[in-house]
Amino acid sequence: MSMKTSLTAGLAGLLFLVGPLQGEDPGWIELFDGKTLDGWSKTGGDAVFKAEGGAITGSGAKKTTFLVTKEDYGDFELVFEYKLHDLDLNSGVQFRSERTPSRERVNTLKGPQIELTKSPGRSGLIFRQGGGAWITPEDKLVRNSAAKNGEWNTVKLRVEGPRIQTWINGILINDSVSEEDQKRYASGAIGLQVHGIRDYDGTPRRASWRGIRLKKL
């Protein structure tokens, strides 16, 4: 085998192992263009969402608020980065979620949610927003330190049928199956959550997301 042939074969093998880069794979959809909130709409409470510095930043107040995709998605891989600027702010990303009427004391988005909170905590585990229960099995509700406080963290979510997998900074956090949630929430919106602050003192708490990409399966 010539050196040229050997190098070509080696490169092909490397590409097979690594897979296509997200930016080069036509199957990936940019859900956030880095500049505007086109394709998204706010629902729920009084938090403010802005596109700034190549990221979406939500400033939280008293009531839980969501920035929601206008389109629905079923089976997919989702990748994004997030940062909690204020560690007393709870956040999350909804998926396969249903929009509900906006009424006082009623959630405006219901369905599965990736929990995002300070470390150590339950970031990466799956909560049923609007249902008050965890989708992640009880014996797997283990606090972890995969996320870095005050820094950008990379999240990968893969949902296919009843199986839900999450990774934070390359660490597998959740790998669970829920036939019940698959039947009820087979497809739905993706939503960025800024949780309401119970004892709000007038100082907004902030969370940011960037590089939000999705690939349908």
Domains in the chain: boundaries = 21-216
pLDDT at 209: 98
Sequence-separated (6 or more) residues with CB below 8 Å from residue 77 = 156, 157, 158, 214, 215, 217
pLDDT at 8: 44
**Confidence class for position 13, pLDDT limits 50, 70, 90:** very low
The CATH code of domain 21-216 reads 2.60.120.560
pLDDT at 141: 96
pLDDT one-digit tens code per residue, 120-129:
999 999 999 9
> What is the model's pTM?
0.85
Q: Residue 21 above 70 pLDDT?
A: no
- Per-residue pLDDT averaged across 79-98, rounded? 95
pLDDT at 116: 97
More confident residue, 108 or 217: 217
pLDDT at 44: 84
Q: Which of 5-14, 111-120, 154-163 has the lowest mean pLDDT?
A: 5-14
Arithmetic mean of pLDDT over the chain: 88
d(CA 38, CA 20): 27
Q: Which residue has the tokens 């929990």?
A: 115
The HSE-up count of residue 190 (CA atoms within 13 Å, CB side) is 21
The HSE-up count of residue 205 (CA atoms within 13 Å, CB side) is 25
Q: Which of 8-17, 58-67, 93-102, 175-184 has the lowest mean pLDDT?
A: 8-17
**Confidence class for position 200, pLDDT limits 50, 70, 90:** confident
